[in-house]
Structure 1
Amino acid sequence: MMSAQGAPSPAIKMARDFDSVFVRYLHAQDHRLRPTHHFFDLTATPCRLDRAKASRYASSSLPAGAVGEWFKASRLPRKKDLQLALSLHPSTLSRAPAEKPMAPVVTERMFRQADLFVRAAEVFGEDGPNWMIKPNPYLEGKAPAEYASNEFGGERVRTILNTIAQAGEV
């Protein structure tokens, strides 16, 4: 997906940034994963997470430093939003050295949320991250990133995004 000026869309840029985080840190654990591998299919419309590859690595323990880079890739405006999206206590990140392994559940959340953030960027462009952190009446008043703290909530958020993309409304 290219913009009218031929530049990559906000979703492609975001997917590339998430890819670089996942590949960089997971390559350090599994040298079969090459730096040229991608977790997102950047040629598909819409851009999609390779779920088979994500499931293979979702139980890996990424270091705390990866979470900080994931935060940059997400384009979230505040650290508080990162804690909301990944269900992390603020002190978990503030005290953890960059090399400290996080619980594998954090990696799974990073994959799920990255997939949703890229989809939100496809639907809303640069405003995708803001949509993910704004309370939504269709999600019990919770922000989509918070509601997607588990796979069931993630599926509901994905359904809403797909509905908006197809019909222009929920």
Structure 2
Amino acid sequence: MTAATTNPAPTTVAGVMAKAFEGVFAHAFSRGEDDIRGAGTPFFHASESAWGLNRGVAARYASRSVPARSLDEWFEASRLPRKKDLFTALCVNASTLSRMRPEAPLEPGVTERLLRQSDLLVRAAEVFGDQGPTWMTKPHPLLDGKTPIEFATNEYGGEKVRSILNAIEHGGVV
């Protein structure tokens, strides 16, 4: 079963974004033992109500390196308003990155943050539509005045951002 037959065609902003991130990861892991093209299990899947990161697939790839070129592709897929937001989201130094060759591998921690932030951006797009990426870059009082993308640079911050998005969508309490 391939990604094309597993998921319906994306018809929402979140679905289009999930497919764009899927392409980034497929391109990043398209060589050697990391080749996911034939694996058949997509990084993102659609349920009846939402798009979400396939945690099993993410766990397999989170400790592997992506090439530096993947960050430009990810930034385009993310729809983030500023390149500065990419560096914040992934905890990467812009000047160091500018000196790297496109095929140079990044530390595996960057891959894990790419996956987490991709999942949260898709979730924000489900809640806010086209404004999801912008919401992720605005300071939030429940995040100590930090932006959601800045707060979500680790697993625990990501869970807090997810709970805020869920509460906004469903009218619950954080």
Taking structure 2 as the reference length, the TM-score comes to: 0.89
Q: Is residue 2:53 matched to residue 1:20?
A: no
Count of residues in Structure 1 that have an aligned counterpart in Structure 2: 165
Percent same amino acid at aligned positions? 51
Check 1:30–1:39 CA distance in 2 against 1; reply closer, same or farther (3 A cut): same
Partner of 2:68: 64
Instruction: Note the C-alpha offset of 1:95.
Output: 1.3
Whether the 8 Å contact between 1:15 and 1:42 is mirrored in structure 2 is no
Give, in whole Å, the separation in 1 of the partners of 2:34 and 2:111: 18
Instruction: Note the C-alpha offset of 1:37.
Output: 3.9
Amino acid at match of 2:27: R
Partner of 1:132: 136
Q: Which runs of no fewer than 5 residues in structure 2 stay unpaired?
A: 1-8
Give, in whole Å, the separation in 1 of the partners of 2:67 and 2:10: 32
Partner of 2:103: 99
Map Cα deviations across residues 53-93 of structure 1 (whole Å, 9 max, x no partner). Answer: 10000000000001110010000111101001111111122
**1:39-50 equivalence runs, <5 A:** 39-50=43-54
Map Cα deviations across residues 149-169 of structure 1 (whole Å, 9 max, x no partner). Answer: 100000000000011111177
Instruction: Note the C-alpha offset of 1:43.
Output: 4.5
Give, in whole Å, the separation in 2 of the partners of 1:31 and 1:81: 27
Q: Is residue 2:157 matched to residue 1:153?
A: yes
Q: Is residue 2:84 matched to residue 1:80?
A: yes
Map Cα deviations across residues 27-72 of structure 1 (whole Å, 9 max, x no partner). Answer: 2243652265410003442111000110000000000001110010
Whether the 8 Å contact between 1:40 and 1:50 is mirrored in structure 2 is yes
Computed over aligned residues only, the root mean square deviation of the Cα atoms, in angstroms, reads: 1.8
Partner of 1:3: none
Amino acid at match of 1:164: I
Amino acid at match of 1:100: A
Give, in whole Å, the separation in 1 of the partners of 2:76 and 2:147: 19
Partner of 2:5: none
